[in-house]
Amino acid sequence: MNKLKPLQTFYWKDETFHILDQRLLPHQVEYLPCRNHRDVISAICKMAVRGAPAIGIAAAFGMALCSYENISECSNQTRLRARLAEASQELLASRPTAVNLAWALERIDKWLSQNENLPSQDIAAGILQEAEKIFREDVENNRMIGKNGSALVPEGASLLTHCNAGSLATGGYGTALGVARAAVQEGKNIHVYIDETRPLLQGARLSAFEMLYEKIPATLITDNCAGYLMKQGLVDLIVVGADRIAGNGDSANKIGTYALAVLAAYHNIPFYIAAPLSTIDLALSSGDEIIIEERSPEEIKCFENRVVAPENISVYNPAFDVTPAGLIKALITEKGVVYNPDQEKLYKLFAKV
């Protein structure tokens, strides 16, 4: 993993996990070295790495870091396993909404329970291999999502997206932006409208960076502009990612997604969610059960480290909202496209795995 591309979210070298620091984009491409799982937690909490699949992958590598850190102290594997259980709980608590975090940690946990009685060194190597597998599979799944989604993108279409569900939010290629990438790779002429995505500007900083890097024609707009674009007939379809999809298809994604879905319904524009199966949480029967992360008021009161609102104003800053399944024309997954998602169809999708 030595050849770095600006869109490479992370790499592992010499028992260190390097995370592309997305807070510095688009101006600087710098990697944050994580030497233990606490460094990974800090990178997730401070949004150096973000995006549902990306934080899941980072958490899996965090478990590998924890095992390497504790090998010498825990020659006894019972102690190492206890340390790993603690680390898993700490990583899980770093962000609450994206289920990919729990999903990836469960994969590591499953590997641990299937591999009993191993020397500590082998546990560390095994966890690292499992983390690398999760990473690789994510990229493969995204390519399939792109292929499946591209079939829904007409030649000459204008696609609107929100936040960043691209290469940077995943192991690579992206989900929603993967659909745009695949359409372009198939020779379609398309145009992408990117919502800037207040307050942290994942659209302006990250999706715009990705589209320019890939030379995909794109235009940046303010979040407020989306409805006006739709009214003018300038949007043919909307494709966004998801952080957690409940068993009935209700989907949590970046705050502002629900408003887009309502606008899409009013203007009769197809609204799609592109996400891997690792984002679907069958344990939840509806979106009402999804925990929505609330972030610091400073993210709204400040702009580029400058205070722009009165000091004492009260602020509400939910990072995500939930779009009801009824507003979603289809879920685009690596296992196929699910039109009008509901509980029965989502259970059937998992039965295919």
Residues serving a catalytic function are 243
Reduced DSSP (H G I as helix, E B as strand, rest coil) percent helix, strand, coil of the chain, to 5: 45, 15, 40
- Decide the pairing of beta strands 244-246 and 280-281: parallel
> Is-cis flag, bond preceding 53, omega within 30?
no
CB of 9 to ligand MRU, least distance (A): 11
Closest approach, Cβ 75 to ligand MRU, in A, equals 38
Residue whose beta carbon is closest to ligand MRU:
241
Query: Please, which residue, 136 or 231, has the CB nearer to ligand MRU?
Result: 136
Helix (H) or strand (E) holding 53, with range, is helix 52-70
**Closer residue to ligand MRU in complex, CB, 84/91:** 91
Closer to ligand MRU by Cβ: residue 66 or 139: 139
Least distance in angstroms from the C-beta of 33 to ligand MRU = 21
Residue 237: name the closest of 179, 162, 178, 157 by CA: 157
Contact set with ligand MRU (CB under 6 A): 50-53, 98, 163, 165, 169-170, 175, 202, 240-243, 253-254, 319
Task: Tell me the one-letter amino acid at 161.
Answer: T
Q: What pairs with residue 330 in β-bridges?
A: 272, 339
H/E stretch holding 307: strand 306-307
- Three-class SS state of 145: helix
CB of 135: closest distance to ligand MRU in angstroms?
Answer: 14
Residue ranges with strand state E in 190-329: 191-195, 218-221, 237-240, 244-246, 251-254, 271-274, 280-281, 302-303, 306-307, 320-323
CB of 120 or CB of 253, closer to ligand MRU: 253
